Structure 1
Amino acid sequence: MSDVLLIADDAGVRTITLNRPDRLNALTGALMAPLADACADAARDTSVGCVIVTGAGRGFCSGGDLKDGGGDRAVVPPNRDSGGRTEQGFTRLRAFMETARLLHEMPKPTIAMVNGPVAGAGIGIAGACDLRFAGRSATFLTAFDRIGAGGDFGSTWFWTKILGTGAARELFLLGEKLTAAEAFTRGIYTRLFDDEALAEATIAAARRLADGPRMGFRYMKANLNLAEDAVFEAALDHEALNMTLSTQATAAIWRAQRPAGE
């Protein structure tokens, strides 16, 4: 895939590791493109039952690498097909941000293993995941106010949904860094572990999910995502449909795997 991105498979669990530890896994164009591709591949690979995203070294992701311009650079002169710097920058960034959409929408559980500082676009990637397991050395910082930016990788959407509009506005507008314990207390991190126990605990949970009822999780996640936006009646309609689909799929799989004669 790329030396700045590591992919590992183990018993139905795919771990995607951002591998720029010297820069706290800050995002560059050379990292964001393969990251989006890796998420797309994990989403469509039926052998994968759960996805973990984490960072190498002592950090999860510190956001866009400002030395790289955050990956937001025009690659060709202005032209009538792709426009100028602004249009090209938007198109390029939007393609990179598919990472967040895929982690949120793929029909399988996703876990952010937050092994250290997370900031900027990194909080969008973490927020896109279904679960966030953190080590005690983790911190949480929106950081967009420090560079005069509005937010990307779905960060303002995810954290408004997860925490509510008031809490999200406090995080983004005041830009205060939270410790892992503070973030856990506020509901930002799902579970908190000692640093040395984080990887083992995350992998154990991921294996449990990968070994679980995959069709059930597929439709469960569809229900949970729909609940974020749909009116209640539409949510009930989809719950009824997905309950029927998931139970029928699970029953069919169980019958197919049952030894003959039972």
Structure 2
Amino acid sequence: MTADFQTVRLEISEGVATLTLNRPDRLNSFNDQMHQEVRAALESIRNGRADGSVRVLVITGAGRGFCAGQDLSDRSVAAGDEAPDLGASIERNYKPLVTSLRTLDMPVIAAVNGVAAGAGANLALACDMVFAARSASFIQSFCKLGLIPDTGGTWILPRLLGPARAMGLALLGDKLPAEQAEAWGLIWKCVDDEALMPTVDALAKQLAAGPTFGFAQTKRAIWASSTNDFPAQLDLERDIMRECGRSHDYREGVAAFMEKRAPRFKGN
């Protein structure tokens, strides 16, 4: 299955939805049309989760970059112009985008194929797992414009890297190569450029065939741990395990183990 858009591509096959940011001439930077089409694509993916046709989402970029963040040519900031309301842009576009990825009840994998800068870097980091090509890099370029890391950057970076490294990346805007990002624990894995999509595709299909109801609950619990205290997290684990224990996938997993056969998970 494919869907028709101008600034993104959405392909669905074997339970895996691949959303490709598709403005390669602008390094896949966001304009209003791309935001609208990404929202529509994510809604289609949610519908696919409901009917069982989508169980994993992969996000990548067309051409030589993943995403360069906001397309500044889409905003007027010339001298004498009325100052743009960047807060309105966050509220309308970037906040709902990363919230959608965090709450999507399936694994979300970023395949970073080149530069990921500004909002593009933090879009990738908002995904559940990040794979990056060896030639890829991450840049918190906001400081070059007198801005702060948005799209969840001020929340994600210190939790993944600690305050010292987060502050250095935010204040200096230095390019962080993919290999260093892996060494620091910012991303899951750095792979050779030619291995990026085959590696991600194989993992996505593996996850799509797995107990995706449990995967969604794992995602829910891990994200919640950053704001819960320990007793609250234990209570959440109890409640989620109760839900998982009532699922088809749990019963099927136990039956398959006892019968020494491959399980047939349904994602519910």
Both proteins in one fold, TM over 0.5: yes
Cα offset, 1:230, TM superposition = 0.7
Match of 1:94 in 2: 91
Q: How many residues align?
A: 244
Match of 1:81 in 2: none
Identity %: 36
Superposition misfits of 4+ residues, deviation over 6 angstroms: none
Cα offset, 1:39, TM superposition = 2.2
Q: For residues 64 and 92 of structure 1, do their structure 2 counterparts lie closer, same or farther at Cα, with a shift above 3 Å needed?
A: closer
Query: Please, what TM-score do these two structures have when normalized by structure 2?
Result: 0.85
1:52 aligned onto 2:58: yes
Match of 1:104 in 2: 102
1:39 aligned onto 2:37: no
- Secondary structure at 1:45's aligned position in 2? helix
Q: Paired residue for 2:225, among 224, 227, 240? A: 227
Q: How far does the alpha carbon of each residue in 1:99-123 deviate from its partner, in whole angstroms, 9 at most, with x for none?
A: 1111122111101100000100001
Match of 2:258 in 1: none
Cα offset, 1:253, TM superposition = 5.6
1:236 aligned onto 2:242: no
RMSD: 2.2
- Secondary structure at 1:150's aligned position in 2? coil
Structure 2 contact 75–84 (Cα < 8 Å) conserved: no
Distance in 1 separating the partners of 2:89 and 2:40:
14
Distance in 1 separating the partners of 2:181 and 2:100:
24
Q: How does 1:37-186 map to 2 (within 5 A)?
A: 37-46=40-49, 47-69=53-75, 86=85, 90-97=87-94, 98-186=96-184
Match of 2:195 in 1: 197
Q: For residues 193 and 241 of structure 1, do their structure 2 counterparts lie closer, same or farther at Cα, with a shift above 3 Å needed?
A: same
Cα offset, 1:64, TM superposition = 0.7
- Structure 2: 5+ residue runs without aligned partners? 78-82, 256-262
Q: How far does the alpha carbon of each residue in 1:38-66 deviate from its partner, in whole angstroms, 9 at most, with x for none?
A: 22332342221110111000100011111
Distance in 2 separating the partners of 1:190 and 1:40:
26
Q: For residues 85 and 167 of structure 1, do their structure 2 counterparts lie closer, same or farther at Cα, with a shift above 3 Å needed?
A: closer
- Secondary structure at 1:60's aligned position in 2? strand
Structure 1 contact 43–108 (Cα < 8 Å) conserved: no
- Structure 1: 5+ residue runs without aligned partners? 73-83
Distance in 2 separating the partners of 1:142 and 1:125:
12
